[in-house]
Amino acid sequence: MKITFYGIVQGVGFRPAAYRVAKQLGLNGFVQNNGSNVEVHIDGDPDVFISRLRQELPSLARIDRSEIEDAEEELEPFRIAESSDGRRVSLIPVDNAICDACLRDFHDPGDHRYRYPFANCTECGARFTVIKDVPFDRARTAMDEFPMCGDCLSEYSSPDDRRFHAQTISSPRCGPRYSLYDRTGTPIRSMDPFETFARKIESGMVGVLKGWGGMHIVGSFESAKRLRKIYRRGEKPYAVMMRDIETARKFAAIDPEEERLLTSPQRPIVLIRKREEVKEALSDVSPGLRNIGIMLPYSGAHHLLFEHLYEDGVIMTSANPPGEPMIIDNLRAFELRLDCYLLHNRKIIHRCDDSVIRVNGGQRAFLRRSRGFVPTPIPLNHSSSVIAVGAQWDVTGSISRNGELFLTQYIGETDKYPTLQFLESAIRHLQRLLGVEKIEAIAADRHPRYSTKIVAKKLAEECGCEMVETQHYHAHAASLMIDRGLSETGIFLTWDGTGYGDDGSSWGGETLDADFSRYSRVASLRKIPLLGGDRAALDIRRIVAAMKLMLNREIDGLSDWEIEVFSKMLPRSSRTSSMGRVLDALSCTLGVCCKRSYEGEPAIKLESLLETGKPTHRFDVRTESAEGLEVIDTLDLFDQLFELNLDGEAERADIARSFVESLVNEAGRIACDIALKRGHSYIGFCGGVSYNGVITEILRDCVEDRNLAFYTHNAIPSGDGGISAGQNAIVGRKVAGKG
Ligand SMILES: [Zn+2]
Ligand SMILES: [Zn+2]
């Protein structure tokens, strides 16, 4: 009998488990990796075998399905056979935090992996980031340069050992090593590089620590200001790594779902509300924000660092030149010119940034879906093989195969060439691992100047297939449909900072009536001018000034000369219906934030005001209807806002809340009216603005009051990181002839 297992069956201890079950049942035969699935040949009842195996399945393994075939064959006593190259249809294991059993070895002075930074087993460690090719065997990983010593080999070969057939294990005798370097890249001799590194960090130095899928910049909380200067990073927040969950609690109010995420094997960065008492201590780490991004140690190296640190936590942020992908190469790291470097000599095959999640109303929202989650597939609406390249900011790519969607790790902002190259290589690598040979179409954004199109065109030429363009907000809606398993037509509020509109202008406050095959715009926001185009998105005073000019209002804070220049620019300036820009302008008007140093900053900083404020003020919302499009007059809302006295802090919070509630409720009302009139059963909310917890809750209440279902993202980022999922869904159906 031959049984083929599909699912997460490689690199997770599946074959050893099969071996143990076969031995218990006294069967002859063999188990082997075949492509990316696993084949078992036995001379007994396959159903008994499968049910026993399910009971003994390693925690990370998952059987999606199994196929049983008759096979006439002579079988010898059960063994684990060499891999054969077959079709690649199963899953590639993700990087998982060091497990409890390995952590016990790590802390046990009698164990040969005592304080060993690369301690791992079948259940844990770097996997996606070290795999060159499938089947997942040591020879096809970055560990091929480190032949196992006798100790490791005996664990690897012993069926009763929990490291039996663990492909990437090593020990201090045979494995990679960390070395310490100074600013210039010269090795620093040290008995204990981790201890020396820890002392340097505590003395205020800033260093680089190489990890599994990339490198982190490490510094004490006090070094935040200096680091910010070196990096010209504006006010962009840093993530921190805390010693453990108890320590993290001193800094942040962690709810049960946040704790579950923080301590999960994926160990993402979780954005959690800072405690009032420590706001001062963290003020340079995440300036002006209610949340702090926290993660817990996930590798032996992190635990070793904390063994030597006295601090509760350290800044841990991706080590990358501004706007470029994270550095993975040792020599390139020295170009960062930081104080010291703690690097190991194992190659990083696949760059993978930390994942970032926040919890909104008990539900997780991915800001970045990367380490720990990639390349776990997401069920899809079509079975075509399509590659999608995303939009321009916060990019991920995607590839589909047999009804499953695989998103790449976080890529970044593709306006810089190295990031664009990273997108291309990440897609190619995923394609190779998945063994998708025939690509049927390449999906890209309709924007004529997005650089991701360069990659799309190149891939389309190579594959000999078509490049198909999708509308930005249609892709957002389709992404949400995939995420929540929706197939019916719905109404979608797709709000973000910017996206290419069908009229050639920048959109971002759109409500669509959509399904996978079509969309129509049913509501939007009145367009507001962007004086100087993109510069207005960085200098929000320009948006506010433009609106005041349109309203013939007095403008304070600008010189007469600036006002004159702006007046001349106004008639020619581009306009946007973006909700992101409306929130930016509100933030600036209320004195919260007028200069943007990172995407979404003014709106994010507005959130704490929105949370404390009460809807005490009355804003009248005017909506005009023209040719089937409802347009909310945001300019008129600002006209009412400019009338108000904005002096007191509490007053400003109430005004912020009132403004947003009025606007969001009106948009929600319009969406619900249309849904009910057209017989749709649900409202979806997506795009970067949906990360805002307050706005999400206002909309949810508004929609549920009308007895409609309300959906937000869960497994796919709701910002532009989810665009490649929607593109794939739309184009995949099209090539399958269903859309
Ligand atoms: Zn382990
Ligand atoms: Zn060894």
Over residues 449-485, the pLDDT tens digits come to 999 999 999 999 999 999 999 999 999 999 999 999 9
Task: Give the ranges where 263-366 is alpha helix by DSSP (H).
Answer: 300-308, 330-333
Cα 146 to middle of ligand 2, angstroms: 9
Residue 54 has pLDDT above 60, yes or no: yes
295 vs 245: CA distance, rounded Å: 9
Average pLDDT, the chain: 94
Q: What's the angle, vertex CA 676, arms to CA 674 and CA 681, rounded to 5? A: 110
The DSSP secondary-structure symbol of 114 reads: T
| CA-based nearest residue to 538, from 449, 582, 590, 598 | 598
Over residues 245-293, the pLDDT tens digits come to 999 999 999 999 999 999 999 999 999 999 999 888 898 999 999 999 9
Ligand at shortest distance from the CA of 116:
2
Cα 230 to middle of ligand 2, angstroms: 40
Ligand at shortest distance from the CA of 155:
2
Q: Give, as residue ranges, everything with CB less than 5 Å from ion ligand 1.
A: 99, 102, 121, 123-124
Three-state DSSP at 249 gives: helix
Give phi and psi for 711, each to the nearest 5.
-120, 135
Cα 4 to middle of ligand 1, angstroms: 26
Over residues 364-395, the pLDDT tens digits come to 999 999 999 999 999 999 999 999 999 999 99
Structure tokens at 402: 């047999």
Cα 16 to middle of ligand 1, angstroms: 15
- Confidence class of residue 135 from pLDDT cuts 50, 70 and 90? confident
Residues 6+ apart with CB under 8 A from 557: 541
Residue 86 has pLDDT above 70, yes or no: no
Cα 176 to middle of ligand 2, angstroms: 10
399 vs 397: CA distance, rounded Å: 7
Burial (CB count within 10 angstroms: exposed 0-12, middle 13-18, buried 19+), residue 109: exposed
Identity (one letter) of the amino acid at 727?
Q
Ligand at shortest distance from the CA of 127:
1
Q: How far apart are the two ends of the chain, measured CA to CA in Å?
A: 42
Q: Which residue has the tokens 């917890």?
A: 693
Cα 169 to middle of ligand 1, angstroms: 10
Show the beta-strand stretches assigned E in 389-463: 398-401, 404-407, 441-445
367 neighbors 358 (Cβ within 8 angstroms): yes
Structure tokens at 473: 């907000």
| CA-based nearest residue to 478, from 730, 681, 686, 739 | 730
Ligand at shortest distance from the CA of 120:
1
Three-state DSSP at 736 gives: coil
Over residues 518-551, the pLDDT tens digits come to 999 999 999 999 998 889 999 999 999 999 999 9
Three-state DSSP at 516 gives: coil
| CA-based nearest residue to 178, from 330, 321, 339, 295 | 330
Cα 122 to middle of ligand 1, angstroms: 6
Structure tokens at 352: 């993978």
Structure tokens at 523: 């509501």
Structure tokens at 502: 């069908």
Ligand at shortest distance from the CA of 151:
2
Three-state DSSP at 393 gives: coil
234 vs 236: CA distance, rounded Å: 6
Structure tokens at 706: 């009308």
Residue 440 has pLDDT above 60, yes or no: yes
Residues 6+ apart with CB under 8 A from 410: 352, 353, 355, 368, 369, 370, 394, 396, 721
Ligand at shortest distance from the CA of 299:
1
Residue 89 has pLDDT above 50, yes or no: no
DSSP H/E element including 19? helix 14-24
Share of the chain above pLDDT 90, in %: 83
638 neighbors 585 (Cβ within 8 angstroms): yes
Over residues 3-26, the pLDDT tens digits come to 999 988 887 888 888 998 998 999
Beta-carbon count within 10 A of 491 CB = 27
Cα 104 to middle of ligand 1, angstroms: 9
Cα 722 to middle of ligand 1, angstroms: 31
Identity (one letter) of the amino acid at 639?
D
Over residues 590-610, the pLDDT tens digits come to 999 999 999 899 999 999 899
Cα dihedral across residues 83, 85, 90, 93: positive or negative: positive
Cα 371 to middle of ligand 2, angstroms: 26
Cα 98 to middle of ligand 1, angstroms: 5
Q: Tell me the ipTM for this assembly.
A: 0.93
Cα 193 to middle of ligand 2, angstroms: 20
Cα 145 to middle of ligand 2, angstroms: 12
Q: Which residue has the tokens 């009536």?
A: 513
Residue 194 has pLDDT above 90, yes or no: yes
User: What pLDDT sits at residue 10?
Assistant: 81
Structure tokens at 430: 């995923």
Higher pLDDT residue, 680 or 75? Answer: 680
Cα 119 to middle of ligand 1, angstroms: 7
Cα 163 to middle of ligand 1, angstroms: 8
89 neighbors 437 (Cβ within 8 angstroms): no
303 half-sphere exposure, CB direction, 13 A CA radius:
20
CA distances from 430 to 376, 475, 720 (A): 11, 21, 20
Q: Which residue has the tokens 């080590």?
A: 319
Cα 168 to middle of ligand 2, angstroms: 10
596 vs 563: CA distance, rounded Å: 21
Average pLDDT over residues 628-641: 97
Ligand at shortest distance from the CA of 103:
1
Cα 156 to middle of ligand 2, angstroms: 10
Domains annotated for the chain, with CATH where assigned, are 2-80 (3.30.70.100), 178-357 (3.90.870.10), 377-484+721-735 (3.30.420.360), 490-712 (3.30.420.40)
Structure tokens at 120: 């791992």
Average pLDDT over residues 440-444: 98
Ligand at shortest distance from the CA of 175:
2
Higher pLDDT residue, 217 or 648? Answer: 217
Cα 173 to middle of ligand 2, angstroms: 5
369 vs 308: CA distance, rounded Å: 31
User: What pLDDT sits at residue 352?
Assistant: 98
Cα 56 to middle of ligand 1, angstroms: 17
473 vs 208: CA distance, rounded Å: 39
Ligand at shortest distance from the CA of 161:
1
Rg (CA), the chain: 27
